Amino acid sequence: MSPAGTITLAGKTVSRLGLGTMRLTGPGTWGPADDADAALQLLRDAVHELGISHVDTADAYGPYTVEELIRRALHPYPDSLLLATKVGMIRPAPNQWRPLGRPDYLRAAVEASLCRLAVDRIDLCYLHRVDPGVPLVDQVGELMDLTAEGKIGAIGLSKVTPEQIKEAATVAPIAAVQNCLNLDEPDDPALRYCATAGIPYVPYRPLNAGALAHGSLGEALGWLLGLGPHVAPIPGTSSIEHLRALVDACDQRLTDGGRA
């Protein structure tokens, strides 16, 4: 069984419950995981034991270390696995993030991610953040050029408004939108827009960076899944026990007859 049922994302049918990997780093989302062996095992168990077939990462996580970790853990990748990564963010220091959307930089970042992940094509590549200093159509246009070259399978956007989604869609099909959404931060106008436009919506920080993990996981995840079949959350964790609890909460919701 796929956790929380399935969704079609970037042309693949995958589990609606994905795995976010930002926590597989050191403090400040900087450097490698404190326990690399445990991180490798978590990735393997998520995919091979728990049925998660959507793994989300970014070149900025570490930076670079999580993409390498995913390759070590999962390559050669199962055909059923959707690998999503993000480009367009640089890391000057721990806990510091800065958008950089120059087309030449985005192209170099995609080429580097291809090497770290050991793939010829990235299934789903997000623009990690919109760089306000570069026209959005130029940023998305470069990703579209890379799609035409076969280096990207589908393009996503992260932390965007409906207006930005509309603008980006004038130059490329948008396969997914990844914004923050959870019970503590429940308002995002892009959620409804994506439902209307037929775009999968991938909530990051679905447990509010762990703040909701101490209550009912079923309630927190159930609320998200109940917002529509286009919603596919990507909780992150460095604990396999926590990940199993998340999967169990989704399975229980399906068993109880909840819509997923």
CA distances from 72 to 44, 104, 184 (A): 10, 28, 35
Cβ atoms of 171 and 144 within 8 Å: the answer is yes
Task: Respond yes or no: is residue 61 known to be catalytic.
Answer: yes
* Residues, the chain: 260
Beta bridge partners of residue 126, listed in sequence order = 86, 156
- Sign of the torsion angle spanned by Cα atoms 215, 221, 222, 228: positive
Which of these is catalytic: 61, 126, 193, 204? 61
Residue 131 — left, alpha, or beta (φ > 0 → left; ψ -120 to 50 → alpha)?
A: beta
Distance of CA 134 to the CA centre of its chain: 23
Q: What are phi and psi of 15, to 5 degrees?
A: -65, 140
Contact between residue 66 and residue 25 where contact means Cβ atoms under 8 Å apart? yes
Angle 240-255/217-225 helices, nearest 10 degrees? Answer: 60
d(CA 253, CA 219): 9
Nearest to 71 by CA among 19, 121, 21, 118: 118
Structure tokens at 106: 């985005």
**Structural element, H or E, at residue 176:** strand 174-178
Residues marked as catalytic: 61
